[in-house]
Amino acid sequence: MKTLHTITEMRTFREGKNGVVAFVPTMGALHEGHVSLVRQARVMADGGARRGTVLASIFVNPTQFGPNEDFGKYPRTLESDQAMLQAAGCDAVFVPSAEEMYPGIRQTSTEHSARSISVDPGPLGDILDGAIRPGHFRGVCTVVAKLLNITQPTHLLLGQKDFQQQLVLRRMCADLNMPTEVVTCATLREADGLAMSSRNRYLSSTDRALAVALSQALDRARAAFAHGQRHAATLEHLMRARLDQDGIEVQYAVVRNQQTLAPFGEAIDGPAVALIAAKLGSTRLIDNQLLE
Protein backbone atom coordinates (compact mmCIF):
# COMPACT_ATOMS: atom_id res chain seq x y z
CA MET A 1 0.00 0.00 0.00
CA LYS A 2 1.27 3.45 -0.91
CA THR A 3 0.97 6.46 1.36
CA LEU A 4 0.60 9.68 -0.60
CA HIS A 5 0.86 13.15 0.94
CA THR A 6 0.33 15.59 -1.94
CA ILE A 7 -2.40 16.15 -4.47
CA THR A 8 0.13 15.69 -7.26
CA GLU A 9 1.19 12.31 -5.87
CA MET A 10 -2.43 11.20 -5.56
CA ARG A 11 -3.33 12.26 -9.08
CA THR A 12 -0.24 10.59 -10.51
CA PHE A 13 -1.15 7.35 -8.73
CA ARG A 14 -4.74 7.57 -10.03
CA GLU A 15 -3.68 7.96 -13.69
CA GLY A 16 -4.27 4.88 -15.80
CA LYS A 17 -6.38 3.07 -13.19
CA ASN A 18 -9.26 1.44 -15.05
CA GLY A 19 -12.30 -0.38 -13.79
CA VAL A 20 -13.74 0.27 -10.34
CA VAL A 21 -11.95 2.85 -8.22
CA ALA A 22 -13.57 2.68 -4.78
CA PHE A 23 -12.83 5.44 -2.26
CA VAL A 24 -13.28 5.49 1.54
CA PRO A 25 -12.72 8.93 3.12
CA THR A 26 -11.86 8.92 6.83
CA MET A 27 -10.53 11.17 9.56
CA GLY A 28 -8.35 8.37 10.90
CA ALA A 29 -8.61 6.79 14.38
CA LEU A 30 -9.85 3.78 12.47
CA HIS A 31 -11.96 0.98 13.90
CA GLU A 32 -13.64 -2.11 12.48
CA GLY A 33 -16.44 0.01 11.04
CA HIS A 34 -13.96 1.80 8.79
CA VAL A 35 -12.23 -1.47 7.97
CA SER A 36 -15.53 -3.00 6.87
CA LEU A 37 -15.93 -0.19 4.33
CA VAL A 38 -12.46 -0.86 2.92
CA ARG A 39 -13.16 -4.60 2.72
CA GLN A 40 -16.41 -3.91 0.88
CA ALA A 41 -14.53 -1.56 -1.43
CA ARG A 42 -12.04 -4.36 -2.14
CA VAL A 43 -14.84 -6.76 -3.03
CA MET A 44 -16.38 -4.16 -5.35
CA ALA A 45 -13.04 -3.37 -6.97
CA ASP A 46 -12.32 -7.03 -7.66
CA GLY A 47 -15.77 -7.87 -8.97
CA GLY A 48 -15.12 -6.94 -12.59
CA ALA A 49 -13.06 -8.40 -15.38
CA ARG A 50 -9.93 -6.70 -14.09
CA ARG A 51 -8.67 -5.86 -10.64
CA GLY A 52 -9.83 -2.42 -9.58
CA THR A 53 -8.36 0.02 -7.10
CA VAL A 54 -9.19 0.82 -3.47
CA LEU A 55 -8.31 4.26 -2.17
CA ALA A 56 -8.71 5.77 1.29
CA SER A 57 -7.91 9.10 2.85
CA ILE A 58 -6.95 10.12 6.37
CA PHE A 59 -7.54 13.79 7.00
CA VAL A 60 -8.88 15.47 10.13
CA ASN A 61 -10.76 18.20 8.31
CA PRO A 62 -10.52 21.49 10.18
CA THR A 63 -13.40 23.16 8.36
CA GLN A 64 -16.07 20.83 9.74
CA PHE A 65 -15.24 21.57 13.39
CA GLY A 66 -16.78 24.46 15.27
CA PRO A 67 -14.61 26.82 17.34
CA ASN A 68 -15.38 24.98 20.59
CA GLU A 69 -15.34 21.43 19.23
CA ASP A 70 -12.73 18.70 19.54
CA PHE A 71 -10.44 19.34 16.55
CA GLY A 72 -7.33 19.65 18.72
CA LYS A 73 -7.91 16.46 20.67
CA TYR A 74 -9.38 14.37 17.87
CA PRO A 75 -7.35 11.12 17.99
CA ARG A 76 -4.55 10.78 15.46
CA THR A 77 -3.27 7.22 15.11
CA LEU A 78 -1.65 7.20 11.67
CA GLU A 79 0.68 4.21 12.07
CA SER A 80 -2.01 1.83 13.28
CA ASP A 81 -4.46 3.27 10.73
CA GLN A 82 -2.06 2.49 7.89
CA ALA A 83 -1.62 -1.08 9.12
CA MET A 84 -5.40 -1.60 9.27
CA LEU A 85 -5.93 -0.20 5.78
CA GLN A 86 -3.19 -2.36 4.28
CA ALA A 87 -4.56 -5.50 5.95
CA ALA A 88 -8.04 -4.72 4.58
CA GLY A 89 -6.78 -4.48 0.98
CA CYS A 90 -6.33 -0.75 0.43
CA ASP A 91 -4.01 0.11 -2.47
CA ALA A 92 -3.20 3.70 -1.53
CA VAL A 93 -4.03 6.13 1.26
CA PHE A 94 -4.03 9.89 0.80
CA VAL A 95 -2.75 11.68 3.93
CA PRO A 96 -2.57 15.41 3.15
CA SER A 97 -1.77 18.27 5.47
CA ALA A 98 -4.27 21.06 6.14
CA GLU A 99 -2.07 23.40 4.10
CA GLU A 100 -2.13 20.95 1.17
CA MET A 101 -5.93 20.84 1.19
CA TYR A 102 -6.53 24.49 2.09
CA PRO A 103 -3.56 26.64 1.01
CA GLY A 104 -3.20 29.60 3.36
CA ILE A 105 -5.56 28.21 5.99
CA ARG A 106 -5.32 30.01 9.32
CA GLN A 107 -8.51 29.12 11.18
CA THR A 108 -8.87 25.45 12.14
CA SER A 109 -12.67 25.65 12.28
CA THR A 110 -15.82 26.31 10.28
CA GLU A 111 -14.85 30.00 10.30
CA HIS A 112 -12.40 29.34 7.45
CA SER A 113 -15.01 27.53 5.38
CA ALA A 114 -17.48 30.38 5.86
CA ARG A 115 -14.99 32.87 4.41
CA SER A 116 -13.78 30.74 1.49
CA ILE A 117 -15.32 29.25 -1.64
CA SER A 118 -17.17 26.23 -0.34
CA VAL A 119 -20.03 23.84 -1.07
CA ASP A 120 -23.41 24.82 0.36
CA PRO A 121 -25.16 21.68 1.69
CA GLY A 122 -28.61 23.18 1.15
CA PRO A 123 -31.58 22.72 3.50
CA LEU A 124 -30.46 19.22 4.50
CA GLY A 125 -27.41 20.80 6.11
CA ASP A 126 -29.41 23.14 8.34
CA ILE A 127 -31.43 20.64 10.38
CA LEU A 128 -30.66 18.11 13.13
CA ASP A 129 -26.84 17.90 13.27
CA GLY A 130 -26.62 20.96 11.03
CA ALA A 131 -28.66 23.03 13.48
CA ILE A 132 -26.59 21.86 16.45
CA ARG A 133 -23.27 22.26 14.61
CA PRO A 134 -23.65 25.32 12.32
CA GLY A 135 -21.33 25.15 9.33
CA HIS A 136 -20.47 21.49 9.91
CA PHE A 137 -21.99 20.12 6.71
CA ARG A 138 -20.58 22.97 4.65
CA GLY A 139 -17.15 21.80 5.80
CA VAL A 140 -18.00 18.16 5.12
CA CYS A 141 -19.32 18.84 1.62
CA THR A 142 -16.38 21.05 0.76
CA VAL A 143 -13.69 18.59 1.83
CA VAL A 144 -15.42 15.58 0.24
CA ALA A 145 -15.91 17.51 -3.01
CA LYS A 146 -12.20 18.33 -2.97
CA LEU A 147 -11.27 14.72 -2.22
CA LEU A 148 -13.51 13.46 -5.03
CA ASN A 149 -11.90 15.90 -7.43
CA ILE A 150 -8.46 14.71 -6.36
CA THR A 151 -9.11 10.94 -6.35
CA GLN A 152 -11.74 10.70 -9.15
CA PRO A 153 -13.36 7.52 -7.82
CA THR A 154 -16.13 5.58 -9.49
CA HIS A 155 -17.61 4.71 -6.08
CA LEU A 156 -17.72 6.53 -2.73
CA LEU A 157 -18.32 4.31 0.30
CA LEU A 158 -19.90 5.83 3.40
CA GLY A 159 -21.20 4.45 6.68
CA GLN A 160 -24.87 4.47 7.68
CA LYS A 161 -23.99 5.54 11.25
CA ASP A 162 -23.51 9.09 9.95
CA PHE A 163 -26.93 8.95 8.32
CA GLN A 164 -27.46 12.65 7.71
CA GLN A 165 -23.91 13.01 6.41
CA GLN A 166 -24.29 10.23 3.85
CA LEU A 167 -27.63 11.70 2.77
CA VAL A 168 -26.13 15.18 2.32
CA LEU A 169 -23.17 13.79 0.36
CA ARG A 170 -25.44 11.62 -1.78
CA ARG A 171 -27.48 14.73 -2.62
CA MET A 172 -24.31 16.73 -3.33
CA CYS A 173 -23.04 14.14 -5.82
CA ALA A 174 -26.41 14.00 -7.56
CA ASP A 175 -27.10 17.73 -7.65
CA LEU A 176 -23.59 18.64 -8.80
CA ASN A 177 -23.54 15.87 -11.44
CA MET A 178 -20.49 14.19 -9.93
CA PRO A 179 -19.72 10.92 -11.79
CA THR A 180 -19.42 8.95 -8.55
CA GLU A 181 -21.81 6.32 -7.24
CA VAL A 182 -22.47 6.66 -3.49
CA VAL A 183 -22.67 3.38 -1.58
CA THR A 184 -23.98 3.40 2.00
CA CYS A 185 -22.75 0.53 4.16
CA ALA A 186 -24.38 -0.88 7.29
CA THR A 187 -23.35 0.31 10.76
CA LEU A 188 -21.01 -2.01 12.64
CA ARG A 189 -21.71 -2.41 16.34
CA GLU A 190 -19.97 -3.59 19.46
CA ALA A 191 -21.22 -6.79 21.11
CA ASP A 192 -23.61 -4.81 23.32
CA GLY A 193 -25.03 -2.82 20.41
CA LEU A 194 -23.08 0.44 20.66
CA ALA A 195 -22.36 1.80 17.18
CA MET A 196 -18.63 1.81 16.47
CA SER A 197 -17.21 5.34 16.44
CA SER A 198 -13.81 6.96 16.78
CA ARG A 199 -15.28 9.08 19.56
CA ASN A 200 -16.15 6.03 21.69
CA ARG A 201 -12.58 6.11 23.00
CA TYR A 202 -13.39 9.39 24.75
CA LEU A 203 -15.99 7.71 26.95
CA SER A 204 -15.24 7.07 30.61
CA SER A 205 -15.98 3.55 31.84
CA THR A 206 -19.20 4.80 33.42
CA ASP A 207 -20.34 6.62 30.29
CA ARG A 208 -19.36 3.64 28.11
CA ALA A 209 -21.72 1.46 30.13
CA LEU A 210 -24.51 4.00 29.70
CA ALA A 211 -23.90 4.52 25.98
CA VAL A 212 -25.67 1.27 25.10
CA ALA A 213 -28.91 3.13 25.84
CA LEU A 214 -28.74 4.74 22.39
CA SER A 215 -29.02 1.47 20.50
CA GLN A 216 -31.56 0.18 23.02
CA ALA A 217 -33.71 3.25 22.47
CA LEU A 218 -33.55 2.71 18.71
CA ASP A 219 -34.42 -0.96 19.20
CA ARG A 220 -37.54 0.09 21.13
CA ALA A 221 -38.66 2.25 18.23
CA ARG A 222 -37.91 -0.47 15.69
CA ALA A 223 -39.80 -3.11 17.69
CA ALA A 224 -42.85 -0.86 18.08
CA PHE A 225 -42.77 -0.03 14.37
CA ALA A 226 -42.55 -3.74 13.52
CA HIS A 227 -45.66 -4.31 15.64
CA GLY A 228 -47.63 -1.71 13.70
CA GLN A 229 -46.99 1.57 15.52
CA ARG A 230 -47.08 4.33 12.91
CA HIS A 231 -47.23 7.47 15.05
CA ALA A 232 -43.84 9.19 14.96
CA ALA A 233 -44.51 11.04 18.21
CA THR A 234 -45.11 7.75 20.02
CA LEU A 235 -41.91 6.23 18.69
CA GLU A 236 -39.98 9.36 19.66
CA HIS A 237 -41.45 9.18 23.17
CA LEU A 238 -40.29 5.57 23.49
CA MET A 239 -36.74 6.53 22.55
CA ARG A 240 -36.59 9.51 24.88
CA ALA A 241 -38.02 7.50 27.77
CA ARG A 242 -35.18 4.97 27.46
CA LEU A 243 -32.53 7.70 27.32
CA ASP A 244 -34.12 9.64 30.19
CA GLN A 245 -34.03 6.46 32.25
CA ASP A 246 -30.24 6.82 32.48
CA GLY A 247 -30.22 10.62 32.67
CA ILE A 248 -28.58 10.96 29.25
CA GLU A 249 -28.50 14.45 27.71
CA VAL A 250 -30.60 14.14 24.55
CA GLN A 251 -30.03 16.56 21.69
CA TYR A 252 -32.61 14.91 19.49
CA ALA A 253 -34.48 11.61 19.25
CA VAL A 254 -36.66 11.78 16.18
CA VAL A 255 -38.30 9.79 13.42
CA ARG A 256 -37.88 11.30 9.97
CA ASN A 257 -38.29 10.50 6.29
CA GLN A 258 -35.30 8.48 5.03
CA GLN A 259 -34.85 10.52 1.84
CA THR A 260 -35.53 14.06 3.05
CA LEU A 261 -35.25 13.98 6.88
CA ALA A 262 -38.57 15.82 6.92
CA PRO A 263 -40.81 15.15 9.93
CA PHE A 264 -43.97 13.14 9.43
CA GLY A 265 -47.47 14.38 10.13
CA GLU A 266 -49.81 12.42 12.31
CA ALA A 267 -48.81 9.07 10.80
CA ILE A 268 -45.68 7.71 9.15
CA ASP A 269 -46.50 7.44 5.46
CA GLY A 270 -43.13 6.71 3.86
CA PRO A 271 -39.71 5.17 4.44
CA ALA A 272 -38.61 6.17 7.95
CA VAL A 273 -35.45 6.37 10.01
CA ALA A 274 -35.06 6.87 13.75
CA LEU A 275 -32.15 9.12 14.69
CA ILE A 276 -30.54 9.99 18.02
CA ALA A 277 -27.88 12.46 19.09
CA ALA A 278 -26.88 12.52 22.75
CA LYS A 279 -24.06 13.57 25.03
CA LEU A 280 -22.43 11.44 27.68
CA GLY A 281 -20.09 13.63 29.65
CA SER A 282 -18.30 15.72 27.03
CA THR A 283 -18.67 13.08 24.30
CA ARG A 284 -21.31 13.47 21.64
CA LEU A 285 -22.62 10.30 20.01
CA ILE A 286 -25.05 9.74 17.16
CA ASP A 287 -26.85 6.62 15.97
CA ASN A 288 -29.81 5.64 13.82
CA GLN A 289 -31.97 2.74 12.74
CA LEU A 290 -34.00 2.26 9.59
CA LEU A 291 -37.66 1.49 10.34
CA GLU A 292 -38.75 -1.20 7.92
- Which of 5, 31, 34, 112 is an active site residue? 34
Q: In this predicted model, what pLDDT tens digit does every residue of 242-260 receive, in sequence order?
A: 999 999 999 999 999 999 9
Q: Which domains does the chain have, with CATH numbers?
A: 2-185 (3.40.50.620), 198-291 (3.30.1300.10)
Measured CA to CA in angstroms, residue 187 lies from 32, 36, 119, 218, 236 at distances of 10, 9, 27, 13, 21
Nearest to 5 by CA among 93, 117, 67: 93
pLDDT at 281: 95
- Does the predicted TM-score (pTM) go above 0.85? yes
Q: In this predicted model, what pLDDT tens digit does every residue of 195-219 receive, in sequence order?
A: 999 999 999 999 999 999 999 999 9
Alpha carbon distance 160, 228 (integer Å): 24
**Is residue 74 within a helix (H) or strand (E), and if so which, with residue range?**
none
Residue 155 bears catalytic tag = no
Cβ atoms of 170 and 163 within 8 Å: the answer is no
CA 100 vs. chain centroid, Å, equals 22
Q: In this predicted model, what pLDDT tens digit does every residue of 37-49 receive, in sequence order?
A: 999 999 999 986 6
Strand partners, 156: 23, 182
Nearest to 61 by CA among 48, 74, 50, 78: 74
